[in-house]
Amino acid sequence: MAHTLDQSAPVDHDLSIYDFEFRDALDVARFAERAPLMTGEANCESWHLGRDGRFTCGTNGTALDSLREWASDPERLVQTFLEFRKQGTCTPDWVVVDERPPLWPGDDPTPSEADVEHFMRLRYQLEVAGIRLMDAVIFDGGARWWSMCELLTGTTQWNDRPFPPVDVDRLKRAA
């Protein structure tokens, strides 16, 4: 389900990601409405949240990073988590925030079945390392956004609701 950001909300350049509690995709959207989060350029990052829903750390992405790329090769994410987890500075509850504006005329950033597969593959691979990927929130570079959690479970809330069963053997072969 596509959602729309409230673009009339005033942007607060002093707002910090550390000031928010993120409990579901709607909280990510509310933050995006008020903070200068949207860059208008391709950008993918992971947010690592504490049990209270507060941002503790994250992985800054580049224009080359994407949900698809991370699902194909999650090693950098896993290694970073394991390194900082030893130091007690990284948490295992993650959300991917993927901004993907159209790159050329006619390009459609709307999530597809391939995105669902990438999300589920990445979720499975991170789970093996002890990371719980709760959602991937995708922004189209304009005002629309989607939640992979909502597309799979019918709700934007991150809870222990199980995702639909996946063919783990197929995901392993595709990895």
For the chain of 175 residues, list the mean pLDDT of each consecutive stretch of 10: 88 88 95 81 89 91 83 92 89 93 79 90 93 94 90 87 61 48
Q: Which domain holds residue 7?
A: 3-174
Report the first-to-last Cα separation within the chain, whole angstroms. Answer: 27
| Domains of the chain: total | 1
Chain mean position to CA 54: 15
92: closest CA among 44, 136, 116, 126? Answer: 126
CA 34/CA 28 separation, integer angstroms: 10
45 by DSSP, 3-state: which? strand
Q: What is the CATH number of the domain that holds 12?
A: 3.40.140.10
Query: What is the biggest distance separating any 2 CA atoms in the chain, rounded to whole angstroms?
Result: 47
